[in-house]
Amino acid sequence: MIPKSIGNLGNVGELDLDANSFSGIIPRSIGNMSSVTKITLSRNKLEGAIPSTIGACKRLLLLSLDGNNLRGSIPKELFQLSSLSVGLDLSQNNLSGVLPQEIEHLKNLGILYLSENHLSGELPGSLSSCISLQVLDLSSNFFHGSMPERLSSLKGLEYVNLSRNNFSGHVPAYLQQIALKYLDVSYNDFEGEVYVKGVFANASAISVIGNHRLCGGIPELHLPNCTNISNYYQKSKKLSLGVILAISVPSSVVASLALVSFLLLYFCKKKTSESESVVTESFDKISYERLFKATQGFSLENLIGTGSFGSVYRGVVDEDEHGIGPTVAIKVINLQRRGSSKSFVAECEALRNIRHRNLVKVITICSSLDFHGNDFKALIYDFMPNGSLESWLHPHDHQLDLSQRISIAKDVAYALDYLHYHCGNTVVHCDLKPSNILLDADMVAHVGDFGLAKILSLEQLSNPHKTSSSSIMRGTIGYAPPEYGVGNEVCTSGDMYSYGILMLEMLAGKKPVDPIFEQGLNLHSYARKALADGFVLQIVDPMLLNDDVIVNQACLISLVKIGVQCSSESPQNRLHIGTVIHELHALANA
């Protein structure tokens, strides 16, 4: 337990007890720490209520209590801490009650995470007073009602997640006027037309699935036409009594026959053509001939990369007489490679229902025959003009400054947060590395290559350390977590290990298989020792020392610490992706 005597530390500036096994309650004496600016008690086993005495910590900039078993309502005193500016994270607890009107006092708050609790009620209009808010995550609660019109004043919002609540009414029109980078309103009860301006114009930046009464929007959302859906509901109300009786009387017999027929049909189709059933359900196909023409016969001049199960080509589809047409990236699957067909199916399955601004967008697929009658399979993606992160790190042909690297780290963290917790299923990427992170024209990072991805079942989520019967090693040497090497099932913590190694590689400028790492030394232990000995500046990429070293030193140390904690050998000791996101936001805004 955290001792009551902790309140005697009146001069402590930061209290970080993150990722331990503390249990019991948070002592009320914590309010006596009058000089504290940062309290992180995340990912412990704390329970009971949040003590209202925290409201006495008048210098507090950041409070993280996520990933515990805290219960009860959020004390109003907490929302009267006008000093809170970096972030407030109360996610992944068992908090209940409403969001109090006193939230209006948090005018300087940049990040608010309240996801995965039992909060309810309507959103207070006073939330509009939080004019500095950039990240708002209220997902997986029981909020209801419509979105207050007053929230239109939150012009600084960039990331909004309202998914898995009971919000209703129309999606607010003012959201298209705010410069949002990501909006998730999935699995609510919104109705009416989806807009086509602002964030709504980018299918990869929004999610509206699970709202069955929405219509319109851009074509990529595949929502029904608003006129058609209106007619449908009118017709459904006129369903006659005779039709209802005709359906219901023989229902027991028909249902039994239908169930047997469905099961037979499902398993037969699954055995004979699993890949085709996955593909044809979600994507419009493109012909081999069009791809052959787009890549000038899959010429070496258009080859932009090779991977475990295929090669990637740059192509211009359906170019006109002036050579103008949409540029795409075409991943041609090497069907001679063992496991490539399974990889193709895995990638289709993983990408069929996910959409996020930091994931590479699949446009369509090709499952056909080539000119010689051989099987041909390819995935067609948005083309990323700035190539992969690896090409910017090794060799040093390009230059990424510290702010760009932090931005890329945030983009990848957003993608993992979405895959692990917000896309309907839990998707583990299993192969996170610089070559699978692509940069668009604005240097926004997109995670790609889902050939090794796995969608976890509820059983796998409840037994993350179960030993797998499969002998297949998922991931790439140096980036794959050590537990995969001894046969453990894949888990979200495995992606966090890869993320930590990726972070350290961006900071040190060295690959995890660099020749200097031998005799038990690896990138993680190399950075951990430098952190412990106070020599972080000696291991970072010299490119990062060109600016003001004194200003950057604290930031670099914090970034290395994140990388080391994420790549811990023990899965239980790795950081949660939510913690990483608000740490990075704090550094970016410092």
Burial (0-12, 13-18, 19+ Cβ within 10 Å), 37: middle
The DSSP code sequence of 564-578 is HHHT-SSGGGSPPHH
Q: Which of 18, 89, 417, 431 is catalytic?
A: 431
Contact 75, 48 (CB under 8 A): no
Contact 582, 89 (CB under 8 A): yes
Contacts of residue 144, defined as CB under 8 A and 6 or more positions apart, other chains included, come to 120, 121, 122, 165, 166, 167, 168
Dihedral sign computed on CA atoms, order 249, 250, 252, 254: negative
Contacts of residue 460, defined as CB under 8 A and 6 or more positions apart, other chains included, come to 466, 489, 491
Any known ligand binding at 454? no
Residue 149: HSE in the Cβ half-sphere, 13 Å Cα cutoff:
0
Tell me how far apart the alpha carbons of residues 433 and 563 are, in angstroms, rounded to a whole number.
Answer: 14
Active site residue 382: no
Contacts of residue 313, defined as CB under 8 A and 6 or more positions apart, other chains included, come to 295, 298, 302, 303, 304, 329, 330, 332
Binding positions: 331
Catalytic positions are: 431
Binding positions for ATP: 331
